[in-house]
Amino acid sequence: MTETQGPRWLYLHGFASGPESKKARALAAHYEARGVQLERLDLRRPSFEHLRLSAAVLHVRERIGTPQDRAVLIGSSLGGLTACRVAEQDARVCALVLMAPAFQLGKGWRARLGDAGFEAWKTSGWLETPDYTTGTTSRVDYGFFEDLERVDAPGDGWPDVRVPTLIVHGVNDATVSVERSRAFAKGKRHVRLVEVDDGHELTASLGRIEAEADAFLTGLLG
């Protein structure tokens, strides 16, 4: 495969997922056919049980390369949020493609678990959750939420992203409401929001995601 000259392309997976997810493999194959290597990062850092958004952000920044390099970040759910937090810190990021980005994730966790469930996580220190990489039930420590609040909650809780950004979000997403992407995109000329008839995983919309991303990133594909 001959790589095109240009930015590095990095894929950032979602919570409880990994670099071998269906979307990651499909998008990597799609761009390989176009002469672009999409590097699928492992963001389960330092481990899934002790997952930290801050560690994921640092890892992505390290993988971009030298101070002269540029990067296109393609992120799903928590990976989409990670991509945004990298972009607001690192001027080497030149474009984002986000799939159901987990904006304001701390609020989402509280709403999803309810008061009793959230307090149980805080008290015990652990939350059991499906692990889609291993196909088993695993657990995540409460430190994940504390780190998330430090990294993602300051100010109004919205990432300050100023690079061209494409968002694809399912209107039937029961995990991360499309309303969050609508609120983030509102009034931003550099953000394009595409709503699809799909849920959170967006696996039924892979063809649409590829087509929208190709059109959006035409100038970077060479």
Question: Which residues does 207 contact at the CB level (< 8 Å), separation at least 6?
Answer: none
Positive or negative torsion for Cα 71, 189, 30, 86: positive
Looking at residues 166-185, what average pLDDT do you find?
A: 97
Nearest to 94 by CA among 77, 71, 75, 111: 71
Domain annotation for the chain: domains and CATH numbers:
8-221 (3.40.50.1820)
Helices within the chain (DSSP H only):
22-32, 53-64, 78-87, 105-124, 143-152, 178-185, 206-216, 218-221
What single letter denotes the amino acid at residue 183? A
The residue written with tokens 């059109």 in the block is 215
Span 47-86, pLDDT tens digits: 999 999 999 999 999 999 999 999 999 999 999 999 999 9
pLDDT of residue 38: 98
CB 78 within 8 A of CB 71: no
pLDDT band for 154, please (50, 70, 90 cuts).
Answer: confident
Q: Which two tokens stand for residue 15?
A: 């919570």
pLDDT of residue 153: 82
What single letter denotes the amino acid at residue 145? F
Span 3-18, pLDDT tens digits: 446 899 999 999 999 9
Nearest to 216 by CA among 40, 95, 81: 95
Q: Which two tokens stand for residue 27?
A: 């998008």
Q: What is the mean pLDDT of the chain?
A: 95
Global confidence as pTM = 0.95
